A and B are shown apart, each in its own frame.
Chain A
Amino acid sequence: MLLSARGLTKRFGDFVAVDGIDVDVRRGEAFGFLGPNGAGKSSTMRMIGATSPVSSGDLRIFGLDPATHGPAIRARLGICPQKDLLDEELSVQENLWVYGRFFGLTRAQVRARAEELLDFAQLTERRADKVEPLSGGMKRRLVIARSLINNPELLLLDEPTTGLDPQARHTLWDKLFRLKRQGVTLILTTHYMDEAEQLCDRLVVMDRGRIVAEGSPRALIEAHSTREVVEVRFDADDHGAHAGALAGLGERVEVLPDRILVYAADGDAVVAALAARGVVPLSTLVRRSTLEDVFLHLTGRTLVD
């Protein structure tokens, strides 16, 4: 067990950011915290990263208590924070070098390691350039490369692809896949359900500081949603007015401001039933259930507002 938390809690004054969560992460696994902004994911990550003290509960990373062994834990961690925290005055490779020195690596170790990581992050050609003009995706890759400088056993990624365009996200996912295959344990937070599905072996769904569900993406979908979903849109400002027309269809109907979701094992059957009732929506879309649907079902809210 690489990480184990019991009743882990983070308070800021009266505000409870993380409300007594239990988590176990095994070596070699990719583990995710999925939840909307403000769910307590980043506070959890900062406690796991041994950069923010635990308010109450028990937390062990590598079997060590971050309150007493913070530096020893951080020596074996790679931390990829939500913001890039790069020194934009320095070049790409200088950012790697200086960061490695913080871990007490020698100049030679840092240079050799930077060489490998520049290649890994596809930044070798930009090595001597300043960081400032790099694209968002390149900066993110640099931050990930930097977090690997000490050859960490556990990599913490807080919202690794937030703010990146789809292509940059896929490039990054590919890099993270490669790390996982090499045996690095990954813990990541995300509010993108596709990211969680792509990367995580196991995840917890967080809402308002608590864990509301736990399991593999597939198991969560099976347990908390139907196989398919029909997204029905009407030419209307208030979709609630059309809810009656869909009542009784599928296993469950969720009314959102901009669409109505019908949860059913067979989506096409729902579309056919709609036609039989003489209901004519603007559009219908049959898709597979995702973690977004799980979250909606568990909390009554969407992940991304």
Chain B
Amino acid sequence: MGAAGPTPGPSPTPGPAPSPSSAPSRLAAGPRPPLSWGERTAGLLAFHLTLAKRTWRGQIVSRFLTPVFFLAAMGLGVGSLVDAASGGVEGVPYLRYVVPGLVMSSAMTLAVSESTWPVMTLLKWNQMYAAMLATPQRVADIVRAHWIVIATGIAWAVAVFIGIAAIAGGVGSWWALLGIPIAVLTALAFVAPLFYVAARSETDEGFTTIFRLVVTPLMLFSGTFFPIAQLPGWLQPIPWATPLWHGTVLARSAFLGNPLPPWWWAHDGVLAAYVLVFHRLTLVAFRRRLAA
């Protein structure tokens, strides 16, 4: 290997030292051993981690403080009025009612913000996705790795949120920890369609509209703050057809001690369908855009 062989490498300076222990063949001339699923993912996660080291400070406010503000205002502020007037919602103090809703809607908000502008950055503005695809990575790899990063970030944010809510007395059962995987699944049910939307977008102009016309209404009409039975009938198809309400129903039941509410399989099924269908569509859209 190096500059001495019949098929010399470019090594501008002496070249990679032979190191039989650490996969030397990845730098040697000739065929190189293929990367495993895990190696490809690890290589991409290293990039996202490097990026996160640069940006994590800025995310503290959006990830932790905003939900805490909501908890204080809705749970403790509004909650004391609700409890004084009607003794809670569906038989539980308002704080306990609203915490799972807040957890899920914050998971949704994070999912949407992580799947819009950051995706556009890698897709178009700095084109790092294209740079990744100039290596042994594939479209499915770069999507999977990015989803893992987003899911992990949301799992952490949700875990901290649940911890803070528990300290504030807003959590009634250890089953609330099930809220973490439920939040991740719900988040992915937003991540998947939004990756698809981002892959089909030429500019970021639509993203603000998504927040105004999707995120905010869903937060208000998906049983976050009050049961959807309170909604006028013509609005009820909105929560049924969108992911947030399904996640909130699952989470609320878990938080109150029942991991499997009625129709739990249907709620999970809707969320899984969003993830799977839009994962497919995302791969197609990414290929069309990056590997055409």
Residues of A whose CB lies within 8 Å of any CB of B are: 12, 27, 49, 51-53, 62, 70-72, 74-79, 81, 83, 85-90, 94, 97-99, 101-109, 112-113, 116-117, 119-120, 147-148, 150-153, 155, 178-179, 182-184
Contacts and interface: CB of A to CB of B under 8 A. Distances in A.
A113 B1 CA distance: 14
A124 B93 CA distance: 62
B20 interface: no
A104 B3 contact: no
Contact of A105 (B3, B7, B26, B130): B26
23 contacts: A12-B292, A71-B34, A71-B138, A72-B136, A74-B135, A85-B126, A89-B51, A89-B54, A99-B131, A102-B131, A102-B136, A103-B135, A104-B23, A105-B27, A106-B22, A109-B16, A119-B12, A151-B1, A151-B28, A155-B10, A182-B11, A183-B3, A183-B10
B128 A183 contact: no
B7 to A, nearest CB: 6
B291 interface: yes
Nearest to B17: A112
Contacts, number: 159
Given A86-B131, A116-B14, A151-B11, 5 more contacts: A71-B35, A78-B10, A89-B55, A109-B23, A119-B13
Given A52-B292, A81-B134, A150-B135, A104 B43 contact: yes
Interface residues of B, number: 51
A133 to B, nearest CB: 15
B12 A117 contact: yes
A153 B9 contact: yes
Contacts of A86: 126, 131
A101 B39 CA distance: 9
B47 interface: yes
A87 B125 CA distance: 9
A89 B51 CA distance: 8
A115 to B, nearest CB: 9
Interface string B45-64: 01100110011000000000
B9 A53 contact: no
Given A71-B34, A86-B126, A151-B27, A104 B51 contact: no
Contact of B32 (A72, A83, A119, A147): A72
Interface string B135-148: 11110000000000
Contact of A99 (B16, B27, B126, B135): B135
Contacts of B1: 151
Nearest to B43: A101
Contacts of B269: none
A51 B46 contact: no
Nearest to A90: B50
B26 A150 contact: yes
B26 A75 contact: yes
B29 interface: yes
Residue of B8, B10, B54, B131 ringed by the most chain A CB atoms within 10 A? B10
